[in-house]
């Protein structure tokens, strides 16, 4: 049985109903969704990393109960904990129960390979990655078929090559005619909100 622990924001009322519908569906004999409520729901602005930390005691409680049931019956043991890449603080909880953890990395494999390669250049070859920002060289990265230009891939602060064109385009627009919207990876809106943004 796969158990999926759900960490929902207090303001997200639709998640609970969705979880209930899944738990009462035909998949419930294979997958169970478990809500991990916080002890104290935040009263001020939302801080993602504090939110994750607040769920650790709840996960510990659930794993404690699961391992207790395992030891007193013939049920299968908890084989592993698979975590989203933003939930790495939960590794500490799994370690307390000597349960292996795996990270589910939601970006593409070639980007992960690039990140590992850059880290390897730094850690194992003592290369100053920031020094690449001024070099017109290409890196051989195992996860890419073609060489990767070092410029721009290792310097997060470098402007994109067409940055000037974007700025020129913005400067040419009528005053107050361009709206920049950035929702991050957690952004979601109701249908009416999306219509309002578009209009």
Query: Catalytic residue numbers?
Result: 84
Report how far residue 168's alpha carbon sits from residue 165's, in angstroms, rounded to the nearest whole number.
5
152: region left, alpha or beta (phi > 0 left; psi from -120 to 50 alpha): left
Report how far residue 103's alpha carbon sits from residue 82's, in angstroms, rounded to the nearest whole number.
6
| Token pair of 10 as six digits | 């207090």
Strand partners, 55: none
Residue whose token pair is 């979601």? 188
Other beta carbons less than 10 A from residue 55's beta carbon: 20
3-state percent breakdown (helix, strand, coil) of the chain, nearest 5: 45, 10, 40
Strands 148-149 and 138-139: antiparallel
Q: How far is CA 92 from CA 59, 60, 71, 95, 191, in A?
A: 11, 10, 22, 5, 39
């Amino acid at each position: 049985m796969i158990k999926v622990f759900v960490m929902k924001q207090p303001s997200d009322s639709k998640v609970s109903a969705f979880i209930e519908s899944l738990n009462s569906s035909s998949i419930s004999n294979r997958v169970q969704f478990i809500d991990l409520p916080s002890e104290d729901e935040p009263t001020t602005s939302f801080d993602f990393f504090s939110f994750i930390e607040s769920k650790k005691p709840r996960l510990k409680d659930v794993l404690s109960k699961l391992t207790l049931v395992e030891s007193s019956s013939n049920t299968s043991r908890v084989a592993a904990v698979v975590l989203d890449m933003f939930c790495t603080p939960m590794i500490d909880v799994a370690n307390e129960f000597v349960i292996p953890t795996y990270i589910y990395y939601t970006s593409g494999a070639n980007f992960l390979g690039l990140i590992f390669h850059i880290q390897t250049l730094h850690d194992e070859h003592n290369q100053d990655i920031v020094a690449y920002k001024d070099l017109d060289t290409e890196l051989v990265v195992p996860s890419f078929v073609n060489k990767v230009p070092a410029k721009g891939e290792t310097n997060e602060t470098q402007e994109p090559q067409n940055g000037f064109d974007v700025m020129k385009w913005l400067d040419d627009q009528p005053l107050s005619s361009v709206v920049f919207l950035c929702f991050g990876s957690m952004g979601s809106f109701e249908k009416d909100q999306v219509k309002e943004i578009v209009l």
